């Protein structure tokens, strides 16, 4: 049997961070909400495999791909992914699962705290314009008069 994308241990960490479901109306309840664990499995499958959302296999039982995409964007707006990231990092740090002794911080990815207040304009480094290889320097293109034919090797001039 294949390993599930979302095991019980990971789901127990993520489930409390998801926003609560909206209460259904009594008179016009609409569609039943999807199982959030299955939706998250569908999201993880699409993000892991890189397939288009529309091609999410129905056999997985995750709903359609567009439903998973809507949940993904709604959870993004609710800040769920930042909370999940923080919770997983805190858990790994508690278990000493992260070794930062070999980590290097690259200054191109870290904000300069004592930087300039006004950004300095970048100098133009492209140089001079190069000569065009597609256009002619002549103002008018050479054309034969209408109705005349260009001389060929088989045509003799008299």
CA-CA-CA-CA dihedral for 72, 73, 74, 80, to nearest 10: 60
Q: Is 56 part of any domain?
A: yes
Q: Is 50 part of any domain?
A: yes
Mean pLDDT within 48-59: 90
> pLDDT tens for residues 66-92?
999 999 999 999 999 999 999 988 888
pLDDT-derived band at 34 (thresholds 50, 70, 90) equals confident
Mean pLDDT within 11-29: 86
pLDDT-derived band at 110 (thresholds 50, 70, 90) equals low
Q: Is 140 part of any domain?
A: no
Q: Tell me the residue range of the domain where 39 lies.
A: 35-97
Within 10 Å of residue 46's Cβ, how many Cβ atoms? 20
Q: Residue 101: its pLDDT value, please?
A: 75
CA distance 158 to 147: 19
pLDDT > 90: percent of the chain? 28
- Among residues 69, 34, 39, which one has the least CA distance to residue 51? 69
How many structural domains is the chain composed of? Answer: 1
pLDDT of 99 > 80? The answer is: no
Q: Is 110 part of any domain?
A: no
CA distance 1 to 41: 16
Q: Is 63 part of any domain?
A: yes
pLDDT-derived band at 20 (thresholds 50, 70, 90) equals confident
Q: Is 105 part of any domain?
A: no
Q: Is 143 part of any domain?
A: no
Chain centroid to CA 155: 63
- The larger pLDDT score, comparing residue 135 to residue 120, is at 120
Q: Is 22 part of any domain?
A: no
- The larger pLDDT score, comparing residue 104 to residue 91, is at 91
């Amino acid at each position: 049997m294949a390993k599930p994308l979302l095991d019980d241990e990971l789901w127990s960490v993520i489930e409390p961070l998801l926003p609560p479901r909206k209460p259904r109306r009594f008179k016009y309840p609409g569609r039943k909400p999807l199982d959030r664990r299955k939706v998250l499995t569908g999201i993880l499958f699409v993000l892991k495999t890189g397939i288009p959302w529309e091609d999410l296999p129905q056999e997985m039982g995750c709903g359609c791909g567009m439903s998973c995409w809507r949940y993904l964007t709604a959870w993004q707006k609710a800040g769920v992914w930042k909370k999940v990231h923080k919770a997983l990092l805190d858990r790994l740090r508690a278990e000493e699962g992260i070794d930062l002794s070999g980590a290097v911080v690259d200054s191109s990815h870290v904000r300069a705290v004592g930087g300039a207040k006004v950004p300095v304009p970048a100098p133009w480094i492209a140089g001079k314009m190069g000569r065009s290889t597609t256009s002619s320097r002549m103002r008018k293109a050479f054309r034969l008069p209408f109705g005349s034919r260009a001389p060929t090797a088989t045509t003799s001039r008299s």
